[in-house]
A and B are shown apart, each in its own frame.
Chain A
Amino acid sequence: MSADGRRRAVLALLAAAPLAARGQQARLHMYNWNNYITEATVAKFELACGCRVVQDYYADNEEMLAKLAAGATGYDLLVPTGNAVQALIRQGALRPLDKSRLPNLANVKPAFMNAWFDPGNAYSVPYAYSITLLGYNEDRMRALGVPTDTWAAIFEPEHLAKVKGKVTVLDSQRELMAAALMYLGHSANDTDPSHWRQARDLVLRAKPYWAAFNAASYFKELTVGNIWLAHGYSNDMYTAQQDALRAGRRFTIGYASPREGAIFALDNLVMHRTGRRPDLAHALVDFLLDGENSATLTNAIGAGNPNAAATAYLRPEIAANRTIFPAPEALAGLQQLRDLERRERRLLNRVWIEIKVR
């Protein structure tokens, strides 16, 4: 075997070695959003518990629910948004929390406890939140005179004409319809078919000006300058803003919650009934409820933080950011998505197909 081949064989063995060494430790299986827990936090916990955290990832709630619906078992912890928690509770898929093992639960701000989907927090613990809003290239929007505090920016042809081909919207049925419904003055959870038709027509009128429906790479395109206006999540917009600053771009990225209303997504830690290590799961949840640990994620990606004890550890400019941490009055204006009944899901899907095809 050539020297090259030998070197590669060694590399391959080295790759296998960590696996062999770790095989003995206890494992905690977590099913989480991409990038929703920092490596530093995981490492710190693994050291403290002498265990290993094995993560699988999903990109949205529907994907997670779909995989669980197919019977995937063995996850100890999940991180669903409110409406997904609702669905999981109704299916009886979650393990009740043992509050005696969660002393840090007291750290959570009362405003986020006793949510509509889990009164009494029998199953869930608030972890982080994000807001669905508009992110934009500040220089371009100023130069073109496009308002950035309203959904009209992505729905009205008079504004869209100035940014044609430079706009992306989320590739999500619920999110896009919610934005359209709120702009039209309805509730984001409205299920009236006539309102859905109104929203559909609004979307179809704006669609010719959009570049794409995009849920994954929009903030990269914003940072690079290919896209000037994007419908997306506050964490992503914060990341795009920081990346643009670090890369020394000539423009800056801004983001704002539209005044007609925005979707507020509260993500929670829950335990799945088929998880094998509830003890480790409780330990990790309590660990994440600690103020300093909780603040790590926010400082890293600008995620909203429902933890009162974390405030002391937040970077001052993030803590002062009124978009990520809305004032109580503004918070009241944000809406949360609720899960739809299956007949409604099917009807919405039909509307969505029309939006995509026409």
Chain B
Amino acid sequence: MRAAPSPRLAKWLVAGPPTLFLLVFFAVPALIMVVASFRFPGEFGGLAPLAATRAGEDAGLTTENYALFFGDWIYAQIFAKSFVVAALTTLACLALAYPLALAIARSPRRRRDLMVLLVVLPFASNFLVRVYAWMIILGPLDLLFTPVAVLVGMVYVHLPFMVLPLYTNLEKHDPALLDAAQDLGAGAWQRFWRVTFPLSLPGILAGTALVFIPVLGMFAIPEILGGKDDWLVGNMIKEAFLGTRDWPFGSMLSIMLTLAVLAVAGIAAALGRGGSRGA
């Protein structure tokens, strides 16, 4: 029998390609943008050069952009508002997705594929077209250009991102556990709350991550369905890149948003680890 390849080689073979790909196509561009957040805006948009080519021109690095952010409460306000919208969207998605995922997981194996397919299929049509369909539906109901419209749009677009991770988790729950619980006298609600729910927490966390975070960066839905008061961080960032052409400012905002999100993800991960130890 051939000697098994060393575990070290196996690790590099598995972890190597994605790491390399992401280093080149994500880390390096991201680094460029981090540096951009410390630069001056270009005269006509974009970035000012790193080395001054004319006397008196702003060039090189500066902390001016971050000073703007921390020197004013208004940015924190927008961030807070966006977090609230993201949280509400995530909760609504969870409420809708959980029964659906559970129903799919408990169906006979044959039907499950079809049911999962039916969840994903709407999203093969175009995102914008679906949002515009909501305009047609909400318009006569007088709900267009309201926060409710934004929430409905956000939930609608992100629902499968909550359903799929939940389903993959629920699907591998051992039915024997529930049978045992029932034998021990647990009612339906207790079986759910004491057995199914705790086991599904990793799925819930994965789904939450996949909904909460993209919602924070969205601008299309508030722009199309939202009213005068529905302006979120995503809109502010888009305005910086495509409206004012102020790239350093836009980069700075994006980095602040990424940091805020990573902080939330870190807390969630810590909770996840603590939770599973306790279970």
Q: Is B231 within 8 A of A69, CB to CB? A: no
**Closest partner residue, chain B, to A209 (CB atom):** B228
Query: Is B85 located at the chain interface by the 8 A CB criterion?
Result: no
**In the complex, which of the residues A70, A87, A214, A348 contacts B44, with contact meaning CB atoms closer than 8 Å?**
A87
Chain A, range 173-212, C-beta contacts under 8 Å to B: 173, 207, 210-212
Query: Is A216 located at the chain interface by the 8 A CB criterion?
Result: yes
Tell me the bound Cα distance from A136 to B74 in angstroms: 34
Query: Is B139 located at the chain interface by the 8 A CB criterion?
Result: yes
Query: Is B227 located at the chain interface by the 8 A CB criterion?
Result: yes
| Per-residue A-contact encoding for B52-87, CB less than 8 Å = 1, 0 else | 000000000000000000000011011000000000
* A217 contact set on B, CB distance < 8 A: 135, 224
Given contacts A66-B242, A69-B46, A226-B144, contact A346 B231 (CB under 8 A): no
Looking at the complex, which of B186-194, B203-211, B233-241, B258-266 is the stretch in contact with chain A? Answer: B233-241
Query: Is B41 located at the chain interface by the 8 A CB criterion?
Result: yes
Tell me the bound Cα distance from A246 to B246 in angstroms: 43
* B224 contact set on A, CB distance < 8 A: 216-217
Q: Is A65 within 8 A of B74, CB to CB? A: no
Interface size range of chain B in the complex = 20 to 34
Q: Is B239 within 8 A of A352, CB to CB? A: yes
Q: Is B228 within 8 A of A207, CB to CB? A: yes
Q: Is A171 within 8 A of B46, CB to CB? A: no
A169–chain B nearest beta-carbon distance, Å? 8
Tell me the bound Cα distance from A171 to B239 in angstroms: 10
B250–chain A nearest beta-carbon distance, Å? 10
Given contacts A69-B44, A69-B45, A353-B236, contact A213 B228 (CB under 8 A): yes
A232–chain B nearest beta-carbon distance, Å? 15
| Per-residue A-contact encoding for B87-111, CB less than 8 Å = 1, 0 else | 0000000000000000000000000
B71–chain A nearest beta-carbon distance, Å? 11
* B139 contact set on A, CB distance < 8 A: 221, 224, 226
* A65 contact set on B, CB distance < 8 A: 44-45, 245
Tell me the bound Cα distance from A150 to B42 in angstroms: 37
**Chain A binding surface, main DSSP class:** helix
B222–chain A nearest beta-carbon distance, Å? 10
| Per-residue A-contact encoding for B128-151, CB less than 8 Å = 1, 0 else | 000000010001000011000000
* A210 contact set on B, CB distance < 8 A: 228
Query: Is A63 located at the chain interface by the 8 A CB criterion?
Result: yes
A14–chain B nearest beta-carbon distance, Å? 20
**In the complex, which of the residues A172, A211, A345 contacts B246, with contact meaning CB atoms closer than 8 Å?**
A345
| Per-residue B-contact encoding for A85-122, CB less than 8 Å = 1, 0 else | 00100110000000000000000000000000000000
**Closest partner residue, chain A, to B149 (CB atom):** A212
Given contacts A69-B44, A217-B135, A342-B42, contact A212 B228 (CB under 8 A): yes
Q: Is A171 within 8 A of B44, CB to CB? A: no
* B243 contact set on A, CB distance < 8 A: 62, 172-173, 349
**In the complex, which of the residues A69, A349, A357 contacts B78, with contact meaning CB atoms closer than 8 Å?**
A357
Q: Is A348 within 8 A of B244, CB to CB? A: yes
* Total count of chain A residues near the partner, CB < 8 A: 34
Query: Is B43 located at the chain interface by the 8 A CB criterion?
Result: yes
* B236 contact set on A, CB distance < 8 A: 353, 356
* A341 contact set on B, CB distance < 8 A: 43
Query: Is A354 located at the chain interface by the 8 A CB criterion?
Result: yes
* A62 contact set on B, CB distance < 8 A: 242-245
Tell me the bound Cα distance from A354 to B223 in angstroms: 17
Q: Is B244 within 8 A of A346, CB to CB? A: yes
Tell me the bound Cα distance from A172 to B236 in angstroms: 13
* A348 contact set on B, CB distance < 8 A: 244
B17–chain A nearest beta-carbon distance, Å? 29
A157–chain B nearest beta-carbon distance, Å? 15
* B46 contact set on A, CB distance < 8 A: 69-70
**In the complex, which of the residues B74, B228, B245 contacts A345, with contact meaning CB atoms closer than 8 Å?**
B245
Q: Is A349 within 8 A of B246, CB to CB? A: yes
Tell me the bound Cα distance from A62 to B231 in angstroms: 19
Tell me the bound Cα distance from A70 to B242 in angstroms: 11
Tell me the bound Cα distance from A173 to B238 in angstroms: 13
A345–chain B nearest beta-carbon distance, Å? 5
* A70 contact set on B, CB distance < 8 A: 46
Q: Is B145 within 8 A of A173, CB to CB? A: no
* B245 contact set on A, CB distance < 8 A: 62, 65-66, 69, 345
Tell me the bound Cα distance from A277 to B26 in angstroms: 34
Chain A, range 333-358, C-beta contacts under 8 Å to B: 341-342, 345-346, 348-349, 352-354, 356-357
Given contacts A65-B245, A356-B231, contact A346 B41 (CB under 8 A): yes
**In the complex, which of the residues B44, B77, B244 contacts A349, with contact meaning CB atoms closer than 8 Å?**
B244
Q: Is A66 within 8 A of B241, CB to CB? A: yes
* B247 contact set on A, CB distance < 8 A: 69
* A342 contact set on B, CB distance < 8 A: 41-45, 246
Q: Is A349 within 8 A of B249, CB to CB? A: yes
Tell me the bound Cα distance from A70 to B227 in angstroms: 31
| Pairs A-B, 4 closest by C-beta atoms | A69-B46, A212-B145, A356-B231, A69-B45
Give 14 A-B pairs besides A210-B228, A226-B144, A357-B74 with Cβ atoms closer than 8 angstroms: A63-B242, A65-B245, A66-B245, A69-B45, A207-B228, A211-B228, A214-B145, A217-B224, A224-B139, A346-B41, A353-B236, A356-B231, A356-B235, A356-B236
